[in-house]
Amino acid sequence: METLLLKNNIDDIKYAARLIRDGQVVGIPTETVYGLGADASNEEAVGKVFAAKGRPADNPLIVHLADFSDAERYTSMIPALAYRLAERFTPGPLTMVMPKNERIPMLTSGGLDTVGIRVPSHPVMHSIIEQSGCAIAAPSANRSGLPSPTSAEHVMRDMNGRIAAVVDGGQSEFGVESTVISFDGEDAVRILRPGAVTREMLLEVCGEVVIDPAILNEVGEGEKVASPGMKYKHYSPKADIIMVESQLGDFTSLVGDNYGDGVYALIFDGDEAGFPYRHLTYGADSSMQAHWLFQRLRELDDMGAEKVYVRAPSTDGVGLAVYNRLIRAAGFEVIRI
Ligand code: TXA
Ligand code: MG
């Protein structure tokens, strides 16, 4: 199959929407990362998404809607707190897990009786949903295990020949996937995956916000998890990633002691003056680090990096999302000095 590269104009958007309505899979831009979109209610189409990604069947897909009010069509119960959160954070990078109804096939929900609902803010994605008239199931558009794509070019690289088309909507704004939450009682939520809607922001609306332990800790084999995605090694480039929590001086010495062919460092903007080893930078603050992380991981692969020492980000605010992706990319290998 030849994968078409479509542009950000109304004819191409209509064509992409038509492909989705016809049961095809299309790479679509969102404000977080690019997704692989298909009609959430069409099992055959959703099956193609799992096949194109090489995704395990027990890992559910997020369902994307044009407006939160449409959630009533696909869920059997919406907590009052969900409406309050939607008011504040949609459209935007927040996914809320709620009991699903029969319009969402078990294939889409990875065999669970819940569905993650998200209302993306990217204008191209919004029009594609509206024009298609479908709820769009979309995981991140990377091959399973690789870093998520933040540009149409990344999607093309991973998916060329495997899907019908990719719509180029520019570089993704946030750069990390949406915050995924579930409901833990009337006024409490649990963060299953951290994102740009931070714990601090959620606390403006909720009485309590629990951070699931699997966000920062490795899940043991056979252990039960609140979100299946947390079981899998993720976001990892070909290179071996090692996270280092230390001051710049100790970090520089560590890289020096282990330096050789194929060894690179991923450091903060501002660290590079006088840093004598091969490196890339990924931003000075958490928002920029979120924006650049996946792009940099792909660039390191292109440069032939075999081993990458990464300065560990802060876990405050959006930093928690960056830390969570990196620690998974590192297979939980962290050096603390
Ligand atoms: O920003 C995003 O969320 C992007 C864009 C494309 O919207 N999508 C995305 O999808 O990151 P994916 O499939 O790569 O990650 C979805 C995560 C997985 O870890 C999955 O296990 C979890 O959300 N998830 C989805 N539905 C769930 C459910 N019903 N219960 C628990 N976890 C769920
Ligand atoms: Mg993903």
pLDDT digit string, tens, across residues 72-104: 999 999 999 999 999 999 999 999 999 999 999
For the cut 70, the answer to whether the pLDDT of residue 26 exceeds it is yes
Ligand 2 center to residue 263 CA distance, Å? 27
> Residue 77's pLDDT is what?
97
| Contacts for 259 with CB less than 8 Å, ≥ 6 apart | 277
Q: Which of 177, 219, 234, 324 to mutate to test the pocket of ligand 1 (most atoms within 8 A of CB)?
A: 177
Ligand 1 center to residue 274 CA distance, Å? 40
Q: Which of 20, 95, 118, 154 to mutate to test the pocket of ligand 1 (most atoms within 8 A of CB)?
A: 95
Phi, psi of 70 (to 5 degrees): -70, -15
For the cut 80, the answer to whether the pLDDT of residue 234 exceeds it is no
Nearest alpha carbon, ligand 1 atom 33: 227
Q: How confident is the model at residue 268 (pLDDT cuts 50, 70, 90)?
A: very high
Ligand 1 atom closest to the CA of 35, numbered from 1 = 6
Strand residues in the chain grouped as ranges (E): 4-6, 26-28, 35-39, 63-64, 94-99, 114-118, 136-137, 165-167, 179-183, 188-193, 208-211, 240-245, 263-267, 279-281, 307-311, 334-336
Ligand nearest the Cα of residue 63 is: 1
For the cut 80, the answer to whether the pLDDT of residue 221 exceeds it is no
CA distances from 41 to 74, 115, 297 (A): 9, 12, 34
Ligand 1 atom closest to the CA of 114, numbered from 1 = 29
Contact in structure between 33 and 97 (CB atoms under 8 Å):
no
Contact in structure between 295 and 175 (CB atoms under 8 Å):
yes
Q: Range with the lowest mean pLDDT among 19-23, 226-230, 269-273?
A: 226-230
Share of the chain above pLDDT 90, in %: 91
Contact in structure between 24 and 167 (CB atoms under 8 Å):
no
Q: How confident is the model at residue 233 (pLDDT cuts 50, 70, 90)?
A: low
Ligand 2 center to residue 271 CA distance, Å? 30
Ligand 1 center to residue 70 CA distance, Å? 19
Ligand 1 atom closest to the CA of 37, numbered from 1 = 6
Q: Rounded to whole angstroms, how far apart are CA atoms 106 and 180?
A: 19
Q: Which of 95, 78, 83, 81 is nearest to 187 (CA)?
A: 81
Nearest alpha carbon, ligand 1 atom 6: 35
For the cut 80, the answer to whether the pLDDT of residue 203 exceeds it is yes
3-state secondary structure at position 322: helix
Nearest alpha carbon, ligand 1 atom 18: 229
Ligand nearest the Cα of residue 117 is: 1
Phi, psi of 39 (to 5 degrees): -60, 115
Overall average pLDDT of the 10-23 stretch? 98
Nearest alpha carbon, ligand 1 atom 21: 229
Q: How confident is the model at residue 235 (pLDDT cuts 50, 70, 90)?
A: confident
Q: Which of 62, 192, 233 to mutate to test the pocket of ligand 1 (most atoms within 8 A of CB)?
A: 62
> Residue 283's pLDDT is what?
98
Ligand 2 center to residue 333 CA distance, Å? 20
Ligand 1 atom closest to the CA of 32, numbered from 1 = 1
For the cut 80, the answer to whether the pLDDT of residue 3 exceeds it is yes
Q: pTM for this one?
A: 0.97
Overall average pLDDT of the 264-290 stretch? 97
Overall average pLDDT of the 134-146 stretch? 95
> Residue 236's pLDDT is what?
76
> Residue 82's pLDDT is what?
98
Ligand 1 atom closest to the CA of 141, numbered from 1 = 6
> Residue 25's pLDDT is what?
98
Find the distance separating the first CA and the last CA of the chain, reported in whole Å: 50
Find the residues whose C-beta lies inside 6 A of ligand 1: 30, 32-33, 35, 59-62, 93, 95, 97, 109, 112, 114-116, 118, 138-140, 177-178, 180, 192-193, 227-229
> Residue 219's pLDDT is what?
81
Q: How confident is the model at residue 218 (pLDDT cuts 50, 70, 90)?
A: confident
Ligand nearest the Cα of residue 234 is: 2
Overall average pLDDT of the 50-54 stretch? 96
Overall average pLDDT of the 174-202 stretch? 97
What rounded mean pLDDT belongs to the chain?
96
Instruction: Name the region of 269 (left: φ>0; alpha: ψ -120 to 50; beta: rest).
Output: beta
For the cut 80, the answer to whether the pLDDT of residue 326 exceeds it is yes
Nearest alpha carbon, ligand 1 atom 10: 139
Query: What confidence tens digit (pLDDT) does each residue in 125-138 have?
Result: 999 999 999 999 99
> Residue 229's pLDDT is what?
80
145 against 113, higher pLDDT: 113
